[in-house]
Amino acid sequence: MKKGTLLLFILLGLYVLQGCNIARHLPAGEKLYDGTDIKVEADSTVSKKEREQIESRLSELARPKPNKKLFGFPYKVGLYYFIGEPKKDSGFRAWARRKFGEQPVLASARALSSNAALWTAFLENEGYFRSAVTGDLVEEGYKARGVYQVQVPQRYLIDSVTYLTDSTPLQPAMKAIEKRSLLKKDNPYRFEVIKLERERIADALRRQGYFYFQPDYLAILADSVVGNHRTRLYIAVKPETPRAALLPYSIRDLYIYPNYSLTGNVGDTALNRSYQFEDFRIVDPAGLFNPKLFREVVAVQPGRRYSSRAQDLTLSRFINVGSFKFVRSRFEPDQEGDSAVLDVHYYLTPYPKKSVRLEIAGTSRSNNLVGSQLTVSWRNRNALGRSELLSINANAGIEFQVGARGQGVTNYRYGIQGSLTFPRLVSPIPIRYYRRSQVLPKTTVTLGYDLIVRGDYYNLNSFLTTFGYTWRSRQRSEHIFQPFNINYVRPSNYGEKFFLLEEDPTTRQQYINIYRSEQLILSSLYTYNLSSSPRTVSRYTYRLTFNAEPAGNLAAMMVNKRNELGKEVIFGVPYSQYVRFDLDSRHFLRVAPSLTWANRIFAGVGIPYGNSNQLPFVKQYFVGGANSLRAFRPRAVGPGVYTRNTDGIVQLQDGGGDIKLEANTEFRPRINQYLQGALFLDVGNVWMYSDESTYGFGTTFRKDFYKQLAVGTGVGLRLDLSYFVVRFDLAFPLRKPWLPEGARWVADEIALGNRAWRRDNLILNVAVGYPF
């Protein structure tokens, strides 16, 4: 107690001495500005919430901002004077003063009048007409605070909105625009909304052909003499508006230069060598592009009114189609009789048609396997003349497990994949899609082969081919439909170590599963993605992904041959039968400017039937690892109460289940521009749908599933490097589902100071990107 009292007196003494030190160094007659006090005296019609919002906004607008404080003490000013005046600007003292110190912010009567004028204007713009702001400097010692009294009268509401455009050529266009006005009767008068309304009207007019119209050509007048604190708004076109802005323009001719060089001259574009395709003039002497491509990309149509929306879509599609590095447009106005017309020129600078890229990368997977990979990519951005992207990738890599203590398995991976993507829907059946999307629908065909050499155990061969479509039905919703997915998985080259697994009772069933894992998966996949608007200013955003995958139905109707195990086969290979559904729901709430609350809920179920007792390994769900339950090693949880080797050593990469439930919640405070923190809680497990032959009793999904949930928590640090995020998450378990009932909660066993506990429970996850 005596030591604590002595320390308190020492701190108080230092505080007083530093205060005297700051007072001694301040310029004569000056006071250190200590902050702002605002007292809002509002009319009885102004609600408590409105008063709080006014006070908060005025505090944000207040200038100057006082020096930073620690326990009420301006410590940076103290350090500024303690370090002292440097002799030269480039020395250590100068650097330390800039880094750790802060010049004193002095109180000023001029700031009082500036704040009063600024706040009065703000209140007027918010509809609190005839507001009054007064302020004084209240001195205390070497400090002074700005104390303000703010008189807030009753707020003005909008009484009516009138568009004065009957005498202008815009009158027909404005009639349709009026219906979606942001200015509504009985809404509060707000100057910010008035500005947004001007921009909305101008944008709507440009979409209707008024190419030169700008928001500044509109005047919005307010008449507050109505009485009863209401105001009438009048929207009119300024008389000095240029005549060209009042005319609707139509598109006359449209020229496309798909092989334009940035070093060329606009006048040297070989117009005399252009040719007509439908409504376009194409200037492509080399014939690099099939003109049908531009029918799908260009939304601006000759013979129709100019539309800014169609222009934006056209530019975005030219960029997103993938063949063009730079896109520029030019408009030439002209008069054709009584009509105003525009000639449009699109100058497109293509990427090199073919390219080769070599990549050497380090890899880190969720099961603690790390290594390196070499990838050679060859791309043709215009394979068939209509911006089709042909890609061929070949890769080779090696992976080994960190922390395996010499018992892990080294994997060698080899693969080659080819894909052809069409920027359109190649389908005999019409598919409806969102015509205003900035990204064209796509058709993709892929073909690939992967070989994994698992040390002295076995090789795993995988052949995959897919055919599918991607399109948008709305701006925020995306559909992916792959009617054909063929995946052939075949183990081979069994080694001596693999056959030894049969002798171990703990690995015998897994040995059997691998030995019989040759499978043919014939499936269809449908994916639906829904997200909040990318332009939203809301504090809440979300992303939803739903997948549905049936497999083996068509094969079951076409074949009836069986092997010696009673499984139906195609060319001697058993095929899988199942239906699989899952939903990934992610929600983000910006609690404060520097704090985000992120949440994810994942639910998936696979129902094997007919030819299958469980989902194929490549289709199963897994729990544990850097992007799942971070307090548990990869695939160390489940199914159900099953316990496996939890020391993190990966040998067979088995495990997983037909059903998965997982929930994650995480607070993400931003520390500075580059650093973010995290505090998270993860819950989940996997279960078998009905088969207990592999993992035993307690591994299938039951109504008391919640008793088998694993729970983990931890903290994280993220390094934000703009292009990617490096993540460090340190976690430990709170609940272990494989323990006996009544002993599964292990929070009371936490012992951070115990080395054995740390070794068995602390998990450090290092990954790239956010977990969700």
How many other C-beta atoms lie within 10 A of the C-beta of residue 520?
Answer: 23
Structure tokens given for 583: 């939903």
Closest CA to 657 of 579, 706, 604: 604
Cα–Cα distance, 401 to 206 (Å, whole number)? 60
Res 315: pLDDT: 95
Write out residues in the chain with pLDDT < 50, as ranges.
Answer: 1, 6-17, 19-20, 266-268, 366-367, 404, 646, 648-650
Residue type (1 letter), 132? A
Structure tokens given for 678: 């995290």
pTM above 0.85, yes or no: no
> Do residues 463 and 488 lie in contact, with contact meaning Cβ atoms separated by under 8 Å?
yes
143-152 and 32-42 strand pairing:
parallel
Closest CA to 67 of 86, 85, 80: 80
578-592 and 540-551 strand pairing:
antiparallel
> Do residues 291 and 277 lie in contact, with contact meaning Cβ atoms separated by under 8 Å?
yes
> Do residues 417 and 392 lie in contact, with contact meaning Cβ atoms separated by under 8 Å?
yes
Res 82: pLDDT: 84
Distance of CA 33 to the CA centre of its chain: 41
DSSP output for 52-91: HHHHHHHHHH-SSPPPP-BTTB-HHHHHHHHH---SSTTS
- CA torsion through residues 312, 318, 324, 328, sign: negative
Residue 493, exposed/middle/buried by CB under 10 A (0-12, 13-18, 19+)? middle
Structure tokens given for 169: 């050529």
Q: Summarize pLDDT for 686-701 with one digit per residue, the tens.
A: 999 988 877 888 889 9
Query: Which residues sit opposite 548 in a β-bridge?
Result: 526, 581
Structure tokens given for 630: 């971070």
Cα–Cα distance, 553 to 577 (Å, whole number)? 7
Cα–Cα distance, 282 to 536 (Å, whole number)? 38
